[in-house]
Amino acid sequence: MPVAINFKICDNAEECNGIEVCPTGALSWDDKKKTIVIDNTKCTSCGACERSCMVQAIKVGRTKEEFAKIQKEIEEDSRKVSDLYLDRYGAMPILPAFLIEEDKFEREVLKASKLTAVEVFANEGIMCLLKSIPITELFDGLDIKFRKMEIKNKKFLDDYDIKELPALLFFLEGKLAGKVEGYFENENKQALKEKVKVIIG
Ligand code: SF4
**Domains 3-81 and 88-200 belong to one CATH topology:** no
pLDDT for position 104: 92
Q: What pTM did the predictor assign?
A: 0.65
What is the distance in A from the centroid of ligand 1 to the CA of 51? 10
Give the containing element (helix H, strand E) for 189.
helix 189-200
Return the number of other C-beta atoms located less than 10 Å from residue 149's C-beta.
21
What is the distance in A from the centroid of ligand 1 to the CA of 47? 6
What are the extents of the domains in the chain?
3-81, 88-200
Atom number in ligand 1 closest to CA 47: 1
Overall size of the chain counted in residues: 201
**Correct CATH for 3-81 of 3.30.160.110, 3.30.70.20, 3.40.50.720, 3.80.10.10:** 3.30.70.20
What residues contact 194, with CB distance under 8 A and at least 6 apart?
A: none
What is the distance in A from the centroid of ligand 1 to the CA of 3? 7
Could you give the count of Cα atoms lying within 13 Å of 199 in the half-sphere of its Cβ?
24
pLDDT for position 13: 82
Alpha carbon nearest to ligand 1 atom 6, residue: 49
Q: Is the CB of 45 under 6 A from ligand 1?
A: yes
Q: Is the CB of 5 under 6 A from ligand 1?
A: no
Alpha carbon nearest to ligand 1 atom 8, residue: 22
**Correct CATH for 88-200 of 1.10.760.10, 3.40.30.10, 3.40.50.300, 3.55.10.10:** 3.40.30.10
Q: pLDDT tens digits, the chain, 201 residues: what are they? A: 699 999 988 888 888 889 999 999 999 999 999 999 999 999 999 999 999 987 789 999 999 999 999 999 999 998 887 777 789 999 989 888 889 999 999 999 999 888 999 999 998 888 877 788 999 889 877 888 999 999 988 999 999 999 999 999 999 999 999 999 999 998 899 999 999 999 987
